[in-house]
Structure 1
Amino acid sequence: MNLSRLAVVALGAFAAAQPVAADPAPVGAPIGGPVGSSEAAARALLDRWLAAQNQGRYDDYAALYAPGFAGVKRVGKTVKAMNRAAWLKDRKAMFKAKLEVSARDVVIAPPAAGAATGVTLTFTQTWRSGRYGDVGPKRIVLDPTNRSIVSEELLTSRPLLTETACLQALHPGASLARKRTAADDGARAITGVAVTDLGGRWACQVDVLDSGTVEVAIGILRFGKRWDLAGRLDLTYDHAPAAAEGDESTGGQVAVAPIALHASVPTIVVTRELRADGPQYAKREVTTTIYRVDGSDLVELLSWDDGGSTGEADDVTRCELEVGAKRTAGWPALTLRCTATTVQWAAGDTEPTETTSATRYRWDGSRYSE
């Protein structure tokens, strides 16, 4: 039986922009296309600057800074001006831990007429080390030869949730390196850690395998003086690989993604898929739920089920969400379109039968209702 006929929920209808730090530029990879000699030199310097940090080569990093360098360090609301010696002393301490630095949206601008400097690079920097990370626009000014840095400033920054900080928030004492929680003498294995940027907050997901069950914790975190938990959701699904050929296997997955519904209220969509596969059949049950991030809680706004089974007969339902233009108190009208497809293979009927339905939802002041 071709099990690829089984359709599951598609999130493409409400896919949102990727988090700022989701796809860091490869270390040392060329940035952009063919350029003039000054821009090529600037791009080469940026590649060396990134590589030195990501590969822990402090001496190579320090060699990129001109004798008269002046920098501005910004962490949140703290701003500090530094000369070359102070800057490199500060950075040398950071090199004791593993650094992850990336640059995207790079723009190279020529110097102003009569300026005693070279080109200016601006880009979005993502910086991680251990439990701390931040992201923001950075400006680097080069010397007239475009081979050393005379000025550097992170113009603004906001905290970035790292996988380590995410794990510690939901499972204090757990080890990301060993992929074990602190509970049950290390028997509970961490199978996944993921973070999602929600703007002012972050979604954090940790999957833990324990005796045939995957426990999924989803938390909403915001940064004050530390990362604080602002809502938590706990889900589970069975995980039992087939013991022998022909046996049933069970599994699943949980995914979190942002969904843009309200201009000022963060919302996420959580999908949980349950799977059961045998030699002549496959079953999928998918529950999709939209939550509003409300203070220290996650408030359910709308939920629906789809999925189905294949075997002697295929009975599959697939649903897609449409976001309308009409709004009530800033919340858009929603339409859920579901298509149920049935094929009776055992009866020799290979022609699919389809039934489509549309359910409209409006904002009732606290959640969505028909």
Structure 2
Amino acid sequence: MPETPAAPLPVERPNPFDPPEGLRERGPLSRLAYPDGHLGWLVTGWALARQVLADRRFSVRPELRHLPVGRPDEPAPPPAPPGVFLVADPPEHTRYRHLLTGEFTVRRMRLLTERVEEITREHLDAMERKGPPADLVETFAAPVPAVVICELLGVPEQARPGFTAQAARLSQAALPQEEKLAAFLAIQGQLRELVTAKRAAPADDLLSGLTRAGLSDEELANIAFMLLGAGLDTTANVLALGTFALLTHPGAQDALRAGPERAGRAVEELLRYLGIIPFLVRTALEDVELGGEVVRAGETVTISLPAAGRDPGRFPSPDVLDVDRDATGHLGFGHGVHQCLGQQLARVELRAALPALFARFPSLRLAAAPGEVPLRTETAIHGLHSLPVTWDEKP
């Protein structure tokens, strides 16, 4: 392919739902200039993104990578501590993931489905009692996933506000390093206390189950930390941003009232369309042929998930929110060995919460102009700070 001049990663989004401007114009594979001076690659094509994410010659280890955003003098991170398998390569990653997969049983998912529906009703009841208007992020999109992941881990109710507050701080990309470290140490201390309590008195929760797997307290605390962070921010922002998208696309919310099958398709389309994870990063462990080019050993590849989700070669009319589209194969949960372990739980939450929201409030609408809805531009995951909504109260 012709040589493309290296450029920085575009990050500014033209509107809340589209990928950053200028991404797709660069083609499926192009040179990327990293803030620290590294010359690597940018993947925006769906097929190439899947290829990189499935190829074990590309590493996820943090000490090998260069980040496409941030300060030029950002220090390189250390190797992942024990248990942090999201940034570990096989076979270490495989060992931890196998243990976690054993805890995401059919029985637990069934019980969680019932509990998610109950948690959803409780928060909708509270919204209805208080009456309009409301901030949907504060009253619904953020607390529902928070309660679910805390119950999955077995976090006592009185400890949940502290867990979720610290996790929210860690999601702020612009938070100074010393403040991130303080939040991390605070939540790690809470998790170690939780691990000690689970060892002493196991219950029917995921963390209690892992205490019987021969893992150290450090490993257990790190695994719980990852699950807590992953289960909070991502699902909450799909709920908030997805509701925003449905409210600004007339008729789209009708799919959520048409039964589980059509609602399920709508959820998958939202996961494709919204692209809340800006990018994933991999580093070549050896020379790899990719899209007619050779990625040299040590070069970092950034995969733009929002751009890959809008690849017209895979999704016809990709910029259209089509809630009846078959969005199978989207990369909202990644791909390959690092594909999101909790994706079925996220689907359970979204398929329960979104239809219930629009069923309870059929007149739900924005309480502010779309351009006034505050976007999260300083965080690692795309989403909303708040979503002002209103509805017609029952007579």
Using the size of structure 1 for normalisation, the TM-score is 0.22
The structure carrying a bigger helix percent of its residues is: 2
Select the structure of larger CA radius of gyration: 1
Larger RCO (CA under 8 A, 6+ residues apart):
2
Using the size of structure 2 for normalisation, the TM-score is 0.21
The structure carrying a bigger strand percent of its residues is: 1
